[in-house]
Amino acid sequence: MDFGGLRHGSHSFDLSPDGRLAYVADIGRNAVFVFKVSPEDGSLTLTDKNIAPRPTDGPRHVTPHPNGRYVYSLQEHTSMVDVFEVDQDAGKLKWLQGVKIIPEDHSPTLYWADEVRVSPSQKYLYCSTRGLEPKTRGWVAVFALDSNGLPTSSTPLCLWETPTSGGWANAVQPAPGSYNEDGVEYLALTDSEEGLVMVLSWDGKQVEEVARAQLENGAGAATAVWL
């Protein structure tokens, strides 16, 4: 697969819940940049260039926990998600731990990780990775979070193999406020290989596909937005 310029440069820009900090994941520089956001004019001041824990990580996406105390950095090349503690006053990150989002006996060279998201209930961390080639299916990993937002274990509660490699996509997106009294949550999964958008359910034990739509005219979605 020809990645072209997608192997380098920043791939995401995310704000802290209070809007005071901005996080930029840069694959090529193998770092997450942290900026303070001016409340007056929105200008950015660099406060940290946090080099990824491993030399080949390639940070792709960063998402903050709603409490603002932690951020999760998805590493595209190693299929890891790293957890950082945020010094909100200094605008700096401190590495705490990393979790693997593919089976232990699988090589990360077969995959390129795509997305990381906190569940609407704040009880789970959803992560996804894509297969580099069509013959390699991707994975959705679910980790339990404690009340502070830290993974309770480096072992996922569930690893669900996706129907295809995911192509350029295989991005998970939880539906806001989708959890019900039984604790079931829903999330979208996009697929550009076959042009699919799937809805998955998570009941605290297993992931299941509950619906899918086939996009027309060869379209393939990169990510889903819930309205």
Q: What is the pLDDT of residues 92-141, one digit of tens each?
A: 999 999 999 999 999 999 999 999 999 999 999 999 999 999 999 999 99
Span 182-193, average pLDDT: 93
CA distances from 147 to 65, 151, 153 (A): 11, 10, 13
pLDDT tens-digit readout, 137-183:
999 999 999 999 999 999 999 999 999 999 999 999 999 976 667 78
41 and 82 assigned to the same domain? yes
78 and 118 assigned to the same domain? no
How far apart CA 81 and CA 8 sit, in angstroms, is 19
Residue 189 has what pLDDT?
98
Residue 180 has what pLDDT?
66
Quick one: 69 exposed, middle or buried, by C-beta within 10 A (0-12, 13-18, 19+)? Answer: middle
138 and 182 assigned to the same domain? yes
Residue 3 has what pLDDT?
43
Residue 2 has what pLDDT?
41
4 in any annotated domain: no
pLDDT tens-digit readout, 206-223:
999 999 999 998 888 889
Is the model's pLDDT at 1 over the cut of 70?
Answer: no
In the chain, pLDDT over 70 holds for what percent of residues? 95
* Beta carbons within 8 Å of 158's beta carbon, 6+ residues apart: 140, 141, 142, 202, 205, 206, 207
Residue 218 has what pLDDT?
83
86 and 180 assigned to the same domain? no
Residue 217 has what pLDDT?
86
105 in any annotated domain: no
167 in any annotated domain: yes
82 in any annotated domain: yes
50 and 90 assigned to the same domain? yes
Number of compact structural domains in the chain: 2
145 and 226 assigned to the same domain? yes
Residue 179 has what pLDDT?
64
Residue 208 has what pLDDT?
98
* Domain of residue 63, CATH code: 2.20.25
132 and 192 assigned to the same domain? yes
Is the model's pLDDT at 5 over the cut of 50?
Answer: no
119 and 95 assigned to the same domain? no
Distance of CA 180 to the CA centre of its chain: 23
CA angle 80, 131, 32 (to 5 degrees): 35
180 or 24: whose pLDDT is higher? 24
170-207 core/surface letters (b: 16 or more CB in 10 A; e: else) = bbbbbbeebbeeeeebbbbbbbbbebbbbbbebebeeb
141 and 218 assigned to the same domain? yes
17 in any annotated domain: yes
The range of the structural domain enclosing residue 74 comes to 9-100
pLDDT, averaged across the chain: 94
